[in-house]
Structure 1
Amino acid sequence: MTQPARVLLVDDSAFVRRATERMLAPLAGVSVVGFARDGEEAVQQVRDLRPDLVIMDVEMPGMDGVAALERIMRECPTPVLLLSSHTRDGAEITLRALEHGAVDFLDKGGAASSMDIHALAPVLREKVWAVLKARTDPLRAPAESGRAARAVDSAPAPAHPGRYEVVAIGTSTGGPRALAELIPALPAGFAAAVVVAQHMPAGFTETLSERLDKRSPLRVSEARDGDAVLPGCVLIAPGGRQMELRRTGGALTVHVFDDPGQLHKPSVDLLFRSVARVAGAASVGVVLTGMGSDGAAGLEGIRAAGGRTFVESARTAVINGMPAAARGAAERDLALDEVAGVLAAIVGAE
């Protein structure tokens, strides 16, 4: 008989620890084996219990979730699902933790109050199953670069300089860490615009954009409705909303809007289809790590329009769901550390 997945719960609130245990109780094949009240206790419990998954609050007294995560990933790499808040400080801490190896996070702000936390049960259970399947690496801190060009500047010149107008990137679980590696590695003067759909709730993508902007040769920002889509600039779709590209005359702009009918907000398929529609053969699509199949239909649309299409390799994707679903539309699989070099070679720099 298959042994149940062993889960360690870490939160300074006894109420949240017990509520999380109750939310997990209906999951066959999952067993809560321990509790911890702070980061120091969490590190010791991981050493002692060797759980299959750690569910951990990021904001705790003493050793916080980020410090504990760094110790866990260095000493005993284990999949970690974060419990976070969508406050400004909460978003900053959460993104630091994701860059340092946490697989995914659950926004506790989705509950109106701590007493409503049980409303998060369906999302929590879905994320637990996904994170248990994740590929976990030892700690590798993201590059803390400035706006200097990378080694990819020496990539071969494109066969058709200026041919490609837009690079569209779609990702979900594991995406913040992947973007923290990919976006800063694109060279200064990158000759295409970059648009990104990262599955995230409202309140997190602004912080994600600011963190990427500080490290990247390219300018990175959270998209606003009507923003121009320009070479050498990266626009991140706002969390909890949708983004499409539009062409007015010769100019490309983004349209940011609400769409309650869509499961994913932002939707990779929605963004990719609009890129195929307005840029056609001058488009490039890349599907990175993520759970589910969002992006598969959109990448097929880019291929049908004559654009270039790539997916992240199963060798590096934290969750291989989205890349696997889109693989039939891709001309090539790429390890994460190969993506920037290939894009630089295709697109070129001005």
Structure 2
Amino acid sequence: MPVKVLIVDDSSFFRHQIRAIIDAHPQLSVVGEASNGREAIDKTKQLKPDIITMDYEMPLMDGITSVRHIMNECPTPILMFSSLTLQGARVTLDALEAGAVDFLPKSYEKVSGSNSSLRQILVNKILTLARPVAKANARVPSTVEAPSASSRSKKKIYVQSFDLVMIGTSTGGPVALQKVLTQIPANFPAPILLIQHMPGTFTGAFAERLNGQCKISVKEAHDGDLLKPGTAYLAPGGQQMILSQKGKIRIMAGDERLNYKPSVDLTFGSAVKYYNRNTLAIVLTGMGADGREGARLLKQAGAVVWAQEGKTCVIDGMPSAIVKANLADEIIALQEISKRMIEVV
């Protein structure tokens, strides 16, 4: 049975273009359209789509308000379309916090192009986010966080000290990082490197938001930054973050052959030389397998690697890749990761 998609946008042109992309794929089907947030709520209840594509700037009711209502009344995975501006970044982060699972840049030129990479990205995201695991997580209110017996039973005792913590994530990462980092005390004794797949126009706004929410300091990383305990450094979108020496960050353009900018693999791998076994690397929710090869290098050096428990992920691709490669020292539910970080670091 095809994945049922509801398209929500006040632009009839954009709705038409998105419909054409979706209807051209044999595994997808448009079940309806809405031109404002209020109509989106009504049609979600009526049509019960598997996934919704949502604009944020609409008449009668904006996208963020609509997301909140939908997640409260009839939870459904929502893919937001966002402008690549500072304001667009802030609005998108609001939408993700309200319950949207992912976002895509909104471009009238790209969506109407005949050979657009956006078309394939859109299809892939819809197919992935509409899978049962995403839908199951979309239907669990963020305020309900039952403890995980499985993760409690797999705790280990580590003999080494941890001088560096690194966290890699993608889809679902902004909310997951918020849940983890807001529970970390200001006197946390190690620096934290954050690698989140995100456009360059978004990472500054995201770091600013986290810094306002957390007890530790959070900043977008800059070339030459010196690592300090109790500070988290967010890799800038569209660039690569590595360690050029112990305690010093280097930001660079990176190899065009790398699929991700920033790349979890690259940052993880760069820590091996300077921190080896005194590193704690954590892989959170996300599509794909970025982080697996970097984690493999870290494990060979004696470092510790954790993976987020699959049922607490929006998308279990990245953590699952770690687990399947037998690289995870612990598999931990999202709501328990901060507690474990405090215990071992």
When the two structures are superposed, what TM-score results if normalisation uses the length of structure 1?
0.89
Rounded to whole Å, the distance in 1 between the matches of 2:44 and 2:226 is: 48
- Residue 138 of structure 1 and its aligned partner are, at CA, apart by 3.7
On the 8 A contact 2:276/2:302 being kept in 1, the answer is yes
- Residue 28 of structure 1 and its aligned partner are, at CA, apart by 1.4
- Residue 92 of structure 1 and its aligned partner are, at CA, apart by 0.5
* Cross-structure match for 1:254: 249
* Cross-structure match for 1:154: none
- Alignment partner of 1:294 out of 290, 293, 304: 290
Which segment is superposed worse, 65-74 or 120-129? 120-129
How do 1:89-238 and structure 2 match up within 5 A? 89-109=87-107, 116=113, 119=116, 120-133=118-131, 134=134, 135-140=137-142, 163-238=161-236
Rounded to whole Å, the distance in 1 between the matches of 2:24 and 2:110 is: 23
* Cross-structure match for 2:277: 281
Distance 1:138 1:72, change over 3 A: farther
- Residue 241 of structure 1 and its aligned partner are, at CA, apart by 1.1
Runs of 4+ in 1 over 3 A off after TM superposition: 111-118, 158-161
On the 8 A contact 1:282/1:307 being kept in 2, the answer is yes
Rounded to whole Å, the distance in 2 between the matches of 1:340 and 1:324 is: 20
* Cross-structure match for 2:64: 66
Rounded to whole Å, the distance in 2 between the matches of 1:187 and 1:160 is: 22
- Residue 114 of structure 1 and its aligned partner are, at CA, apart by 7.0
- Residue 261 of structure 1 and its aligned partner are, at CA, apart by 1.9
How do 1:23-42 and structure 2 match up within 5 A? 23-42=21-40
On the 8 A contact 2:163/2:275 being kept in 1, the answer is yes
SS of alignment partner, residue 34 of structure 1 = strand
Residue type of the alignment partner of 1:33: V
On the 8 A contact 1:57/1:65 being kept in 2, the answer is yes
Residue type of the alignment partner of 2:174: P
- Residue 87 of structure 1 and its aligned partner are, at CA, apart by 1.1
Rounded to whole Å, the distance in 1 between the matches of 2:194 and 2:211 is: 13
SS of alignment partner, residue 315 of structure 1 = helix
Unaligned runs of 5+ in 1: 143-157
On the 8 A contact 2:200/2:237 being kept in 1, the answer is yes
SS of alignment partner, residue 217 of structure 1 = coil
- Residue 315 of structure 1 and its aligned partner are, at CA, apart by 1.8
- Residue 25 of structure 1 and its aligned partner are, at CA, apart by 2.2
When the two structures are superposed, what TM-score results if normalisation uses the length of structure 2?
0.90
SS of alignment partner, residue 329 of structure 1 = coil
SS of alignment partner, residue 94 of structure 1 = helix
- Residue 137 of structure 1 and its aligned partner are, at CA, apart by 3.2
On the 8 A contact 2:111/2:119 being kept in 1, the answer is no
1:263 has 2:265 as partner: no
Distance 1:114 1:128, change over 3 A: closer
Residue type of the alignment partner of 1:312: Q
On the 8 A contact 1:84/1:94 being kept in 2, the answer is yes
* Cross-structure match for 1:308: 304
Rounded to whole Å, the distance in 2 between the matches of 1:117 and 1:127 is: 19
Residue type of the alignment partner of 1:278: Y
Aligned residues between the structures: 326
Rounded to whole Å, the distance in 1 between the matches of 2:31 and 2:47 is: 8
On the 8 A contact 2:169/2:195 being kept in 1, the answer is yes
On the 8 A contact 2:18/2:111 being kept in 1, the answer is no
